[in-house]
Amino acid sequence: MTTSRPLPPPPAPAPDTAPPPEAVAPLVRGIAVLRRLTDTDGTAALGDLERATGLARSTVDRVVATLARMGYVRLDGRDVVLAPRLMELGNAYLAALRLPALLAGHADALADALDESVSLAVADGDGIRFLHQATRRRALSLSFRIGDLLPAERTAPGPLLAGEWSAEDWHRWHRRRAADPGDRAFPAVPPRSRTLSGPAFETAVERARADGWALDDQLIEPGLVALSVPVRGADGRIACVASVVSHTSRHSADSLRTILLPPLRSAVAAMERTLATAPPAEPADRPSGLAGWTGASKQELGREFVESLARGLTVVTAFGEGRPELTLTAVAEATGLARATARRALITLAHLGYVTPHGRGFRLTPRVLALGFPPLSRTTVTRIARPHLAALGRSVQDSTALAVLTGDEVQYTARSTTGRIMDVDIAVGSRLPAYATSTGRVLLAALPPGERAARLGPAARDPLTARTVTRPADLAAVLDRTRADGFALVDEELEAGLRSLAVPLHDRHGTVLAAINITLHSSRRTPAQCVTDLLPALRATATAIEADLHIASRFARVPLL
């Protein structure tokens, strides 16, 4: 062990600094609402937002209306719910940082090789914040979410990252420990039970500095153990920390170190090589024309639209891949905002800790992930689709559903009904033969020909009605046509009196992963009317779901269910 460097004593607590006079008050309020929604796991009643933020109800209403217009939240009765689109803020930070794009593959490969969860975390003030999680599905595993903030002293990455703390960072840590003995500022962790004394953490920091690794032996909660190694950038400083996380039923802290330290170290060496050799990021194009959009929204919504909030949040999206550091001029250009407007937004975001001055410009900080990322990063395709299917169902007044292919059947994972007496009744979880359903046809049509044939088999299928297409050659022709058309219309082939229209849903890479449909009684519309009246709305819904899905899955894994 190296000789201990004396650590500075805790100073007297400093009062919270008041916002600078240029701060944009509506932006401060909007962020307060987003933070509360994040801490309440993505859903809060309007009344709760009012109480928790101390804002007047009319202010909460206007903030929520503005965030809803931006696609960042939606209203569900009296509840406000975070929407996937909000992840574009965290995505801007993660893309600008580049570490997930460069290192996630290494972390995922290590998790597969060890069959244990692996995470990447960075320092955020006196806490650690997760950038990436390669998790295992196990009963005995508590895993944190991308964007979760943990107190440094209760984690394995903490002592490694605290080795780079300044005197000011240590002051802040002592102040926080004294002011918040229960770790209430960290909603992702259970309250502190065992008190780790200040000197014990300082000792752990010194040991981590000497060893080049650190352990968490159930500091967060009983059973949870973790081993961490720093990943250094080309400049020699810690870029992030890689951790292997396990449970005492599989590993003690001791066996983690003896068995898993070597593979963790070689994975980290590979990560460091990637960082050292990565070519510079290509700057992505920025959509401009924001000023026009906010202006139009203001025209339409009037007092209910708080333009300065929308503009302030959009400043965050000016950053991104190849754009980690932007000057005021670059932010103004990318957003289309007036310089004075962009400047006040940056000052406000800097005051709140979401951007930090760097070089001649500004950078985003990991705190941006606190704007909704943890609850939103745990979403599924089904959950993303649900509100869109409900909106479509309300607009066309017929039932809608989402289905995936399993074997030669489709399984319905989400649906919305009209409440009409003669409603089509297909329960979530139920399965139907793919060859005779519109969703099944769309999903079969998307398969490579060989796989399609393998799933359907060589024999003719059962006729379910007088109209069911059953002969393999006929089905193949129908599926080719479906593929070319980009939709399937199944007319009374599953059940007499039932028509159904489906289109595919694609992931970020263009692969079809599910299908959505509208199902109706044949008396409601002719087949031709299904296409003219329903297909445009169905396609628009698919596009909206895909847009959400592509944002949500940029840095987080989004499973179907």
Residues in contact with ligand PHB by the rule CB under 6 A? 119, 143-144, 155-157, 216, 220, 226, 243, 245
CB 355, CB 365: distance < 8 Å: yes
Give the nearer residue to ligand PHB in terms of CB position, either 247 or 311: 247
Q: How far is the CB of 133 from ligand PHB (least distance, A)?
A: 6
Least distance (Å) from ligand PHB to the CB of residue 500?
Answer: 43
* DSSP per-residue letters across 450-503: HHHHHHH-SSPPPPSSTT---SHHHHHHHHHHHHHHT-EEEESSSSTTEEEEEE
Nearer to ligand PHB, 202 or 216 (CB): 216
- As a whole number of Å, the end-to-end CA separation of the chain is 48
Q: Which is nearer to ligand PHB, 103 or 245 (CB)?
A: 245
CA distance 508 to 549: 8
Residue whose CB is less far from ligand PHB, 127 or 387: 127
Is residue 217 a contact partner of residue 225, using CB atoms and an 8 Å limit? yes
Nearest CB to ligand PHB, comparing residues 156 and 392:
156
Element containing residue 132 per DSSP (H, E): strand 127-134
Q: What is the signed CA dihedral for 469, 475, 480, 483, rounded to 10 degrees?
A: 60
Whichever of 161 and 489 has its CB closer to ligand PHB, that residue is 161
Residue 428: name the closest of 385, 397, 466 by CA: 385
- The distance of closest approach from Cβ of residue 216 to ligand PHB in the complex, given in angstroms and rounded to an integer, is 3
Of 156 and 518, nearer to ligand PHB (C-beta) is 156
Report, in Å, the least distance between residue 226 CB and ligand PHB. Answer: 3
Minimum CB distance to ligand PHB smaller for 137 or for 509: 137
Q: Give dist(CA 8, CA 546) in Å, integer.
A: 52
Please answer whether residues 519 and 498 qualify as being in contact, where contact means their C-beta atoms are separated by less than 8 angstroms: yes
CB of 117 to ligand PHB, least distance (A): 6
In the bound complex, what is the minimum distance in angstroms from residue 126's beta carbon to ligand PHB?
15
Q: What are phi and psi of 537, to 5 degrees?
A: -70, -40
CB of 281 to ligand PHB, least distance (A): 26
CB of 198 to ligand PHB, least distance (A): 19
Nearer to ligand PHB, 220 or 410 (CB): 220
Q: Which residue, 215 or 345, is less far from ligand PHB as judged by CB?
A: 215
The tokens for 512 are 């079809």
Q: How far is the CB of 235 from ligand PHB (least distance, A)?
A: 24
CB of 201 to ligand PHB, least distance (A): 13
**Residue 206 CB partners (closer than 8 Å, separation 6+):** 1, 2, 4, 5
From residue 436, alpha-carbon distances to 283, 424, 486 in Å are 47, 16, 17
Min dist CB 284 to ligand PHB, Å, is 29
Q: Which of 28, 32, 68, 34 is nearest to 309 (CA)?
A: 28
- Measure Cα distances from 273 to 95, 106, 109, 110, 282 in Å: 19, 11, 16, 16, 20
**Number of residues in the chain:** 561
Nearest to ligand PHB of 43, 218 (CB atom)? 218
d(CA 537, CA 531): 10
Buried b vs exposed e over 68-103: b needs ≥16 C-beta within 10 Å?
bbbbbbbeeeebbbbbbbbbbbbbbbbbbbbbbbbb
> How near is the Cβ of 485 to ligand PHB at its closest, in Å?
46
Helix (H) or strand (E) holding 11: none
Which of 119/399 has CB closer to ligand PHB? 119
The C-alpha atoms of residue 390 and residue 386 are separated, in whole angstroms, by 6
Q: Cα torsion for 122, 128, 134, 136, to the nearest 10°?
A: 170
Phi, psi at 251, each rounded to 5°:
-145, 140
